[in-house]
Chain A
C-alpha cells in the first residue's frame, strides 16, 4: 500500500489529464453532474478523515462546514454583484470554515470522545437556525444563484465545475497524504491511540488537534463553496442536510479510516453506487443503502476495505 511520492504525483497528474480528456470526449452533461456529486462526497470524506480517521474525533457537524462554505459564496456573490470569480469564493469559504474549524479545535480541549461528537452535531443545528433566520441569505425559503455565462474553454458550465472539483479533490488527497506521512501525522495517530499518553510523551496534542480541525474545516468549506453554482438553489434544509454528514462519515468508515486512501475508495464505491441507485431505483433507497452499508461495515469490518485488503496481503505474504 506504500506509494512512492513520484508515483503518487504521476497518478494525480494522470487523473487530472483523464478528467480533461473526459470533458473533450463526453458531451452528455448528466455524467458530469454525477461525477461532480461523487467528487464532492470524496472531498468531504477526505476532509472528515483528517480529523475523524487520523485523530479519532468524530465530527457529526460536517454539514455545517459544508453549508457555511456554500453560504459564504452566496453572500459574497450577492454582495459584490456576481463579479467575483470562483477561485476567490472558494478561498474565502476555506478561510471562513478554517476559522470555524479552529474554534471547534479549541472545543476539543474540554470535550473528549462522545461529548465532542454531540457538540459538533449541536453546532450544525445552531448554524442552521442562524441561517434560516437570516433574511439577506434567503432565510428558510432559500436563495437562487445565477450560473455565470462564462466557462473558460469548456463546453458547458458543469464541465468547468467538474474540473474545478477534480482539481480540489486531488489537492485534498495530496494534503491528507502528506499529513499522514509526516511527523505531524504520527502525532495525530498518537492522539487517536491514547491522548493522555501522547501528551505525557511530549506530543503537542492541542496544536496538532488545532491543525487537523482547521485543515478539515477549510477543506469542507472548499467542498461547499461551488455547491450553489452547481444546484442554483440553496436552502438551509438542503445545505445542512444530514445526508451530507452521513456520507462524510460513511465513506471513510467503509473505505478505512487509518489510511489516506480509505476515504477515496469509500467515496468511489458509495458515491458510485448511490448514483446508480438514484437513477435506477429511488433517492430514498440510496440513503437507506448508505445507512445499511455503514452499519454493516462498522459491525463486521471496522478497519474498512483498506484494512481488509491489508489483512489479505499480509496473509498471502506470510503463509
Chain B
C-alpha cells in the first residue's frame, strides 16, 4: 500500500531539503550562472563552512547558524583572493575553459585533502538547542534540524535576490553577466565587479556550510555528492535566474526525498545527476532560461 502518510512526509521533508539545496546552490548561481566561472570547488567551500561551524560550536558552544553569518566576511575575502588568482592566470589570457576547470578541480582536491589531513575522516556534528527536536502537523513530522536551515535558506535566497534586483552593485553584477564591455563603457570596472560577486558567492558558502552540518554529520568528502546537485539545480533553473534556481532546488529536493523513501536511499545520488543529464540533453536552457 502506498501510504499517504509516508508520501506526505516525504514531500514535506523534500521541500525542506530543497530549500536547503537553494542555500548551497545560490553561490554557484552567481559564480557559474552570472559570471561563467565554473567553480567545481564550490561544494568543497561549503564543507569548509561546515568545519568552521563545527570548530566554533564545539570549542565555544556558538550557534552554528550564527557562526555561518560571522564567518561570511572571511569567506568573502577568500573568494576575492581566489578570483584574483583565477583572473590573473586564466581569464586575462582567455584560457578559462580548459585550464580554469582543471584549476578548480585541483582546488577541490586541495581543500578536501587539507581538511582530511587536519581533522581526519570522522563524521563531525554540531549541537544546538533545536537539533533533535521536532513538532507535528497532523501526520507530518517537522524536524527542526530541517526547518531551521529551510528558514535560513529562504532568508539568504530572498536577500540575495533583493540585493541583485534592487541595489546599485547588485545590478552591476547582473550587468557584467550580460555584457562586460558595455559595463566598461559605462565607466565601471568589470573585473572589480566580478571580484566582488565571486566574493559574495563564496561568502554564501559559509552559511550554507553551517546549515549543512545542522542537517546532518559532515566529513571532508561529503562535498562530492553536492557537485551534481548544485550544478543540476543551477542548470535546471536556467543559469542566470535566481528564482528559477530556487524552484529547481525545491523540485530536486522533493524528487530526491520521494525516491529515497520509496526506492531506497542508495538511489538518491543518481537523481540529481540523472536530472542534470536529462536537462543538458533535452533543454540546456533550463526551466527558466534566458535563451
Residues of A with Cβ closer than 8 Å to B?
52, 56, 58, 60, 107, 110-111, 113-115, 117-119, 121-123, 125-126, 128-130, 132-133, 140, 242, 246, 249-250, 253, 284-285, 287-288, 290-295, 298-300, 302
Contacts and interface: CB of A to CB of B under 8 A. Distances in A.
Contacts of A110: 280-281, 284
Given A117-B101, A122-B277, A133-B266, A299 B114 contact: no
Given A115-B284, A118-B280, A246 B105 contact: yes
B117 A288 contact: yes
Contacts of A246: 105-106, 109
B277 A113 contact: no
Interface residues of B, number: 40
A175 B69 CA distance: 55
A190 B82 CA distance: 32
B85 A299 contact: yes
A123 B227 CA distance: 12
B280 A126 contact: no
A236 to B, nearest CB: 10
B147 interface: no
Interface stretch (B14-22, B91-99, B137-145, B203-211): B91-99
Nearest to B110: A291
Contacts of B116: 284
Nearest to A243: B109
Nearest to A128: B269
A253 B110 CA distance: 17
Given A56-B98, A58-B98, A302-B99, A119 B277 contact: yes
A302 B113 contact: no
Contact of A288 (B114, B232, B280, B284): B114
B277 A294 contact: no
Q: 8 smallest A-B Cβ distances: which pairs?
A: A291-B109, A294-B106, A129-B270, A122-B273, A295-B106, A299-B89, A288-B113, A291-B110
Contacts of B99: 253, 298-299, 302
Nearest to A111: B280
B109 A290 contact: yes
A125 B110 contact: no
B280 to A, nearest CB: 5
Given A110-B280, A122-B273, 14 more contacts: A56-B97, A114-B38, A114-B101, A119-B276, A121-B273, A133-B264, A133-B266, A246-B106, A250-B106, A285-B117, A287-B109, A291-B113, A298-B102, A299-B99
Given A126-B274, A246-B105, A299-B103, A121 B117 contact: no
A280 to B, nearest CB: 15
B273 A249 contact: no
17 contacts: A58-B98, A113-B97, A117-B38, A118-B235, A121-B273, A122-B228, A126-B270, A129-B266, A129-B267, A129-B269, A129-B270, A246-B106, A285-B113, A288-B113, A294-B102, A294-B105, A298-B90
B277 A291 contact: no
B224 interface: yes
Contacts of B113: 284-285, 287-288, 291
Nearest to B270: A129
A291 B273 contact: no
A253 B106 CA distance: 11
Which secondary structure dominates where chain B touches chain A? helix
Interface in B92-137: 95, 97-99, 101-103, 105-110, 113-114, 116-117
A50 to B, nearest CB: 15
B246 interface: no
B105 A111 contact: no
B179 to A, nearest CB: 20
A270 B272 CA distance: 33
A116 to B, nearest CB: 9
A59 B133 CA distance: 44
B283 to A, nearest CB: 10
A166 to B, nearest CB: 28
A249 B97 CA distance: 14
Interface in B158-197: none
Contacts of B107: 291, 295
Contacts of B101: 58, 114, 117
B267 to A, nearest CB: 6
A318 to B, nearest CB: 24
B231 interface: yes
Contacts of A295: 103, 106-107, 110
B104 to A, nearest CB: 9
B97 A114 contact: yes
Interface in B242-291: 264, 266-267, 269-270, 272-274, 276-277, 280-281, 284
A42 to B, nearest CB: 18
A246 B109 CA distance: 9
B102 A292 contact: no
B269 to A, nearest CB: 5
Contacts of B228: 121-122, 125
Contacts of B114: 288
A179 B204 CA distance: 46
A273 to B, nearest CB: 15
A130 B281 contact: no
Contacts of B231: 118, 121-122
